[in-house]
Structure 1
Amino acid sequence: MTTPTSSPTLVLIAGHWLGAWAWDDVLDHLDADHLDAVAMTLPGLDDTDPRRTAKTLDDQVAAIRSVVAQHGDRPVVLVAHSGANAPVSLILDRHPELVARVVWIDSGPVAHGSVFAPDFPEGLDELPLPSFDALGQQASLDGLSVKALERFRAKAVPEPATVLRQPVELANPARHHIPTTLVCCSISGEQVVELARTGHPMFAAVSPLTDVDIVDLPTGHWPMWSRPLDLAKVIQSAALQT
């Protein structure tokens, strides 16, 4: 049995519109396995913060750094879903010594200079969760129940425009050598490898990685709701490799 003293802390970070609440079902299973796991809400996604729309990627990086510091600055396993890839890529670049492994959930590292939404209108300070019809054109909703969608809609927090417009500035090649697990859900691992090989912009930062495990977990883009037990098992397995 894995115990908190024999495995690194897991820090779970969800993507756009989501907070720590998005991991509740996964945490239930990780707690049952006695893993030391914490979910966090990135700055800008706390609906009680009156200044949340002014938060930046740098604020999000600082928050992740703070969570690591609370665990004694021991290397952690970062579990990053979807749009959390920008701040997590920055953490890997700035503090590679603090990351024992990164687990990307239907996501992956971003490339230097990446901007999530460079054309986002200047007159807007946030991006609300789109309709599910529109969202389904961008990311797979497979496996999500009506109840899960209702909870998503009720708890989603608009994404700050400052985060969407900020370029990701990366300079440290050490980030390429951090052990990595790619959990492929809405597209297969085989497709990810092929897209990376052919230089697809979304997967360009996968090619330089030197220590990568690829795990297929077929479902939609939000496996923490569609397959929480299976996702917890994948995360646990990744942690045990560390």
Structure 2
Amino acid sequence: MTTTTSSPTIVLIPGHWLGAWAWDEVLEHLDTDHSRAVAMTLPGLDGDDPERVEKTLDDQVAAVLDVITRLGVSEDQPATLVAHSGANAPVSLVLDRHPDLVHRVVWVDSGPVATGSVFAPDLPEGVEELPLPSFDALAQQASLEGLSAEVLERFRARAVPEPGPVLRQPVELTNDVRRKVPTTLVCCSIPSAQVLELARGGHPMFAEVADVEHLDVIDLPTGHWPMWSRPRDLAKVIQSEASRTT
């Protein structure tokens, strides 16, 4: 039987090219009377930061830890981390370094990465940043299903190029306790059955999933950006998963 806690702390972490603004519609639907929910912008994705192209995964990890510290998160009152897409690298590192501070991790069309993973290993050292590709090119990598022309226009207008150091830095994991943190995969552009099959087959993108000890999967069929295509439904899932104690 699943039990719940009445006031979970939820930290929403967006993927590549995105800031806290990407979660605005989800935040509107979260029941803030029964939770503390905060969206954050990772270092390197603040367009007003003159040093943003120098930011690293370590900077992003430090920022996540700073947010949860300021929220009063502790081993006795851990937070639920919600990670979309490319936020999987810094959040995997947070889980590795401070699993005691995480009540549950909710991966939104994403999942934990394995040690040694590099998002863009072939990105030349001289490339400072990676802008949002054309939508034709992006659609070859991730589903745009459910996104209106208005949403795509906003995405284009507000997207911030991803810093090169973040994309080139290997993820180094050493603490197997990270695999004990309760984990939920919210599967959007790839059905959960296929994700689990790929994990069992050792696919490099999903291999780490096979080693998670407490795993739940939820299908939310839509494109890769459900915070825009199905914000109400995603908020409902996040609220439910964050409130679980078992």
**Distance of 1:144 and 1:170 partners within structure 2:** 35
Amino acid at match of 2:13: I
1:25 aligns with 25
1:57 aligns with 57
Amino acid at match of 2:219: D
1:93 aligns with 96
Q: Of 123, 135, 153, which aligns to 1:120?
A: 123
2:157 aligns with 154
Alignment of 1:69 with 2:69, yes or no, is yes
CA deviation vs aligned residue, 1:125-146 (integer Å, no higher than 9, x gap): 0000000000000000000011
**Distance of 1:228 and 1:104 partners within structure 2:** 15
Amino acid at match of 2:145: D
1:224 aligns with 227
Cα shift at 1:157: 0.1
Pairs aligned (count): 238
1:84 aligns with 87
Amino acid at match of 1:52: R
Cα shift at 1:31: 4.2
Q: Of 229, 235, 239, which aligns to 1:236?
A: 239
| TM-score, with length taken from structure 2 | 0.95
Cα shift at 1:33: 5.7
Cα shift at 1:32: 5.7
**Distance of 1:33 and 1:26 partners within structure 2:** 15
Structure 1: runs of 5 or more not aligned: none
Asked whether the 8 Å contact 2:82–2:105 carries over to 1, the reply is yes
2:132 aligns with 129
- What does 1:202-213 align with in structure 2 at a 5 Å threshold? 202-213=205-216
Change (3 A) 1:59 1:119: same
1:190 aligns with 193
**Distance of 2:33 and 2:105 partners within structure 1:** 20
Alignment of 1:109 with 2:104, yes or no, is no
1:36 aligns with 36
Cα shift at 1:121: 1.8
Amino acid at match of 2:241: A
**Distance of 2:161 and 2:242 partners within structure 1:** 31
**Distance of 1:146 and 1:115 partners within structure 2:** 32
**Distance of 1:236 and 1:30 partners within structure 2:** 7
CA deviation vs aligned residue, 1:47-67 (integer Å, no higher than 9, x gap): 010000000000000000000
Structure 2: runs of 5 or more not aligned: none
Amino acid at match of 1:195: L
Amino acid at match of 2:79: V
Q: Of 176, 181, 190, which aligns to 2:179?
A: 176
Asked whether the 8 Å contact 2:16–2:87 carries over to 1, the reply is yes
